[in-house]
């Protein structure tokens, strides 16, 4: 029986990429989107791509970034699947290579139990173009899940993961069930299940 389900955030629970949406205000969204696309396909080192993308939103007012992050659009079925899993007694956690300014308010709206992501550095109310946090590297999700698994004394078969990109591969290796959701080919190869319909309620049929 599944006891823990870990979700990626951007393009999994949230419809799009937070960093790309933030960069629109500065006219950098095409450049950021291209870097993101290559990183999620496994063509670029995740850490290097993250640092490069965050540098492109330097100068954005923090208040503007927070306003955008509080009003992100979720994937169809996001709230429903979290509610369903929690009703089954399954803990729900988000691992995001994105940012707490997005995953924290989303936690209040969707109801997942815990989230790990990164912090956008700011000074005097302005983003500095620097970032730090728990999910900075391509293998961060796998390492964090290994820690959680040990702390909660869970077996691989008691864990499910849902994601879409290359930086989700490491957490799939720590779980018995890996669900590639509208995902890049690199993650589909590591998955036990594949969903190509953009509706998270499809997960119910697997779990």
Strand partners, 181: 195
Note if 8 is an active site residue. yes
Counting residues of the chain whose pLDDT is more than 90, the rounded percentage is 94
pLDDT grade for 39, boundaries at 50, 70 and 90 = confident
pLDDT of the residue at 120 = 97
Q: Tell me the pLDDT of the chain averaged across its residues.
A: 95
pLDDT grade for 42, boundaries at 50, 70 and 90 = confident
Q: What is the pLDDT of residues 2-30, one digit of tens each?
A: 999 999 999 999 999 999 999 998 999 99
pLDDT of the residue at 40 = 84
Across residues 140-165, what is the average pLDDT? 97
Read off the tokens for 116: 């790990």
Distance of CA 19 to the CA centre of its chain: 12
| SS3 readout for 68-117 | HHCCCCECCCHHHHHHHHHHCCCEEEEEEEEEHHHHHHHHHHHCCCEEEE
Does the structure show a pLDDT above 90 at 185? Answer: yes
The CATH fold of domain 4-206: Rossmann fold (3.40.50)
The structure's pTM equals 0.93
**Beta-carbon contacts of residue 64 (< 8 Å; ≥ 6 apart):** 25
Does the structure show a pLDDT above 90 at 41? Answer: no
Note if 80 is an active site residue. no
Neighbours of 36 (CB within 10 A): 25
Read off the tokens for 131: 């970032």
pLDDT of the residue at 147 = 96
pLDDT of the residue at 193 = 97
How far is 131 from 197, CA to CA, in rounded Å? 33
Whether 165 and 11 have beta carbons less than 8 Å apart is answered as: yes
Across residues 157-180, what is the average pLDDT? 97
End-to-end CA distance of the chain: 9
Q: What is the pLDDT of residues 73-92, one digit of tens each?
A: 999 999 999 999 999 999 99
């Amino acid at each position: 029986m599944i006891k823990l389900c870990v979700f990626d955030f951007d393009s999994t629970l949230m419809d799009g990429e937070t960093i790309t949406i933030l960069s629109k205000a500065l006219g950098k969204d095409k450049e950021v989107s291209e870097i993101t696309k290559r990183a999620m396909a496994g063509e670029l080192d995740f850490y290097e791509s993250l640092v490069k993308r965050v540098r492109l939103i330097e100068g954005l007012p923090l208040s503007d970034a927070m306003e955008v992050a509080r009003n992100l659009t979720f994937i169809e079925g996001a709230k429903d699947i979290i509610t369903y899993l929690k009703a089954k007694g399954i803990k729900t956690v988000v691992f995001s290579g994105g940012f707490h300014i997005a995953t924290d308010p989303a936690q209040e709206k969707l109801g997942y139990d815990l989230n790990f992501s990164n912090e956008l550095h700011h000074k005097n109310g302005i983003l500095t173009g620097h970032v730090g946090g728990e999910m900075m590297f391509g293998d961060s999700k796998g390492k964090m899940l290994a820690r959680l698994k040990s702390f909660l004394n869970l077996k691989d078969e008691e864990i499910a993961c849902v994601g879409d990109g290359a930086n989700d591969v490491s957490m799939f290796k720590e779980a018995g069930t890996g669900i590639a959701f509208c995902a890049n080919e690199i993650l589909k190869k590591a998955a036990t299940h594949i969903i190509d319909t953009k509706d998270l309620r499809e997960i119910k049929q697997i779990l």
